[in-house]
Structure formats: C-alpha cells, structure tokens
Structure 1
Amino acid sequence: MIYIQRKERFSAAHQLYNPNWSEEKNDEVFGKCANRNFHGHNFTLTVTVKGEIHPDTGFVMNLTDLKELIRTHVIDRLDHKNLNLDVDFLRGKMCSTEIIAIEIWKILQPLIAERGATLHCVRLDETENNSVEYYGE
C-alpha cells in the first residue's frame, strides 16, 4: 500500500453561529468566529489517496487527475466564497472546519474510487495552527 497526497488552497469566509442560541451564547462559544459579518481564512486542503501501484503506469492514481477532481469538484466551489451562503453542499450546516472536511470527503470519495484508488484522508488547515483530519469514519 502506498499513499499519495495533493495540496490545494482556497480563501473563503464563514461564520460559526447556532441560530437556536442567543447572541450572547454564540459569542461565548464561538468568540470572533461568530462575527455577524463573517470572517475569512486561507485554507489548505490536503487529500491523501492510497492504493496499489498500477504496473502499467507506476501510479496509485494519476496526480493530474486527482488535481482536476479536487479543483473542479471542491476548490472551484469554495474559493472566494461565503461558505455559509454561497456553497450548496454546506447550506444549512454549521460551517466548522470539521464539517467542511466531512463534506469534502463525501464529494471526493466516490470520484476517487471510480479511478481505482481509495480516499484515505482529507486534511483541512484553517490556519497554520488549526487543522482537522477526516478518515471517513
């Protein structure tokens, strides 16, 4: 088993806010992230794919194909967007980094499987200090 990775970057705004709570409770739990006018990040997405090396290509998966899948189905839909308002697959969901990573997994997993590889991990860095990893569990 071998693992390959592709990194992509996108910039986006979001807000962490639970409409069932008071503004005070949202401020207490989410702090600056509950800003009514949203706030932004320069995210880094790392997608790890695993599989066996195909004897004809020497690849687990063609990295050019992986790049195109990620850009077309994820980055183009997230980059320079308001995640809470502009992104169909996040509409009505809490736009935490954890939820975003899970939703990215749901998009990429079947597309990667169609190409004979297995999605191993979606890592999303919100800042240089804060990141999440999701393994489809």
Structure 2
Amino acid sequence: MSKIRITKQFTFETGHALYGYDGKCKNVHGHSYKLSVTVIGEPITDMGNAKLGMVIDFGDLKKIVNREIVNVFDHATVFNKNTPHVELAKELSDRGHDVLLVDYQPTSEMMVIDFAAKIQSFLPDTIKLHSLRLSETATSYAEWHAADQL
C-alpha cells in the first residue's frame, strides 16, 4: 500500500516576549499562530475497521493537537523560565492570566521543536509525524521536518 500524508490545520492566539532580543520582540506582544500538522502512514485496509481508508481519523489527530498544543497555548503568554520575565509572569498569573514558562526562548523555531516532540509521543506506532509548519505572521513561519532530524 502507498504511504499517504495528511495535514490538519489549527489556529491559536499566544503572547510572548523574547528576552535579550535586540528588536521590538523583546516587548510582550502576541501572534495569531497557524499550525499545520502533517502525518504519514498507510490507509487502513481492514474491512472491519470503522476507519477503513484513513491514515488517521482527522478527529483523532485534532484531539491530540488540541490537548497538547492549542488548549495549552491559546490565549496564554509564554516566557522563557530563565529570564527576568518570570516576575511579570508571576504578576500575570496571580491576576488570573494563563502563563507558560518554558525551557526555551519562545521563538517559532523553538516552539515548533517543542510541538513536534509533544505530538509524536501521542501518535499511534503506525503513524509518523512528517512535518509541522508554524506561521507566526502571514509572511513568517518555521518548519520542522522528520527527514531533517536523521
């Protein structure tokens, strides 16, 4: 059977600040992110399987990505936990805001690496994560490809 790639797209709003950056992005600001998740596998051929003909049910992929990424990052503010922004993060959190402290500089490049690890760990063994594209603006995005990780 042929290997097939399928893609599901997601959107979420997230704020962040880049500690130590020498431009405007050192300030707290936000983006309307668009995440494209592409997986690869063989369509199910078992005639008794309700998912016959699917690589993975789009709904199942949606559940994984929403649980691990969208529901966590949407309308949250992300800071590197090793920066002075932790004081601001605590103040925001104390006021009821969703704040994420991560182990990395929250650039699109680093976020897409984080997202790839999270998504891969929940995919069935028969399905592989092929690529991610995280668009931060209409003209700027970061991509992760499994083939580049070898």
TM-score by length of 1: 0.84
Give 1:76 deviation, angstroms: 0.4
> Which structure has the larger Rg?
2
CA apart distance, 1:115: 5.3
Is 1:99 aligned to 2:110, yes or no?
A: yes
Superimposed CA distance per residue, residues 47-102 of structure 1 (whole angstroms, 9 cap, x where no aligned partner): 000011111310111111001111011100000000115225xx231001000000
C-alpha offsets along residues 93-124 of structure 1, whole Å, 9 cap, x if unaligned? 10010000000001001211x25211000110
Question: Identity percentage over the alignment?
Answer: 31
Structure with the higher fraction of residues in helix conformation: 1
- 1:55, 1:2 → 2: CA distance? 13
Gapped runs of 5+ residues in structure 2?
Answer: 47-51, 80-88, 90-98
Q: How many residues align?
A: 122
Higher strand fraction: Structure 1 or Structure 2? Answer: 2
Q: Distance in 2 between matches of 1:17 and 1:92?
A: 13
Indicate yes or no: 2:128 matched with 1:118: yes
Native 8 Å contact 1:49 1:120 kept in 2? yes
CA distance in 2, matches of 1:127, 1:115: 33
Moved segments of 4+, more than 6 Å: none
- Distance in 2 between the 1:87 and 1:116 partners? 32
Instruction: Report the residue type matching 1:14 in the other structure.
Output: H
The aligned amino acid for 1:83 is V
Structure 2 partner of 1:21: none
Answer yes or no: is 1:87 the counterpart of 2:100: yes
- Partner SS state of residue 132, structure 1: strand
CA displacement at 1:130 relative to structure 2: 0.1
Which residues of structure 1 form unaligned runs of 5+?
19-25
Given the two structures, how large is their TM-score scaled by the length of structure 2? Answer: 0.77
Moved more, 48-57 or 114-123: 114-123
